[in-house]
Amino acid sequence: MVCFPEGGLGVSERHYGQSKEQTVALVKKGSRRIVVDGVTYRWRVRHKPTYCQSNGWGPLTFAVEDATVPGTVLVVETGWHHPENWFGLTTKPVVPADVAQAIRTALAQGWTPLANGSPFHLDVSNAGQTGEDATLASGLSA
């Protein structure tokens, strides 16, 4: 079975007329606001796990976008399980400090939140093991 990291994050596609251009937007319901370096973003963790996340096959993911102009969505794949997995696997909550660090890392890697386009994927599941930057209290690192 193939599990897609962005599955069910509340990300919807919008089509403009006959144009082939696609814009993906984060669903506002259930999203939280965060200000990072003077810019306001919205972020969201899927409340109900996907089937793959429930079985422990897929990691917990969260999505981020600019709060003022929806553009490219950032999809962050963490290295831990969804809190509502069926087997009680060890997990950690996503806290605002993790989101802020992921935003800074994605921006450094080329994420352009105001541009239209496909979601930008950031995998931080192995970041703490490579010793790149200081690990945050919840385990997410740059």
pLDDT, residue 46, reads: 83
pTM confidence score: 0.75
- Kind and range of the H or E run holding 99: helix 96-108
Question: Do residues 9 and 75 touch, judged by C-beta distance below 8 A?
Answer: yes
Contacts of 62 (CB under 8 A, 6+ apart): 9, 43, 44, 45, 75, 76, 78, 94, 99, 102
Backbone angles phi, psi at 75, to 5 degrees: -110, 115
- Ordered per-residue pLDDT tens for the chain, 142 residues: 567 555 555 554 444 343 434 446 777 777 899 999 999 999 999 888 889 989 999 899 999 999 999 899 999 999 899 988 899 999 999 999 999 999 999 999 999 999 999 999 999 987 654 434 433 434 454 4
Question: Do residues 136 and 105 touch, judged by C-beta distance below 8 A?
Answer: no
